[in-house]
Amino acid sequence: MIRLVVNGKDIEMNEGTSVNDLIESYNLDTKFIAVGYNGDVIKKEDYQSTLLQDSDFVELVKPVGGG
């Protein structure tokens, strides 16, 4: 198990979990989300290949409409 911070909350995930797996665990659609990973924004095409590590910081950001 690894420990990481997602949107300010400490969570545990299995080793080998990808960013894509994390997004799916929150039932979010990858088409409508941006991911901050340890201070950088990562590209959607890198979600599956980016494996989470112990002590990572992740921000899952959904767009908000308004006018």
**Domain locations in the chain?**
2-61
In 3D, which of 46, 43, 3, 9 has the Cα closest to residue 26? 9
Q: Is the pLDDT of residue 11 over 70?
A: yes
Give mean pLDDT, residues 5-25: 97
Show the CA angle centred on residue 14, arms to residues 38 and 27, nearest 5°.
75
Q: pLDDT of 16-33, one tens digit each?
A: 999 999 999 999 988 889
CATH code, residues 2-61: 3.10.20.30
pLDDT at residue 14, as a whole number: 97
| pLDDT of 65 | 75
- Assess contact for 50 and 18: CB atoms under 8 A: yes
Neighbours of 4 (CB within 10 A): 19
pTM, entire model: 0.88
Structure tokens at 24: 């799916």
Percentage with pLDDT > 70 across the chain: 99
What is the bridge-based pairing of β-strands 40-42 and 57-61?
A: unpaired
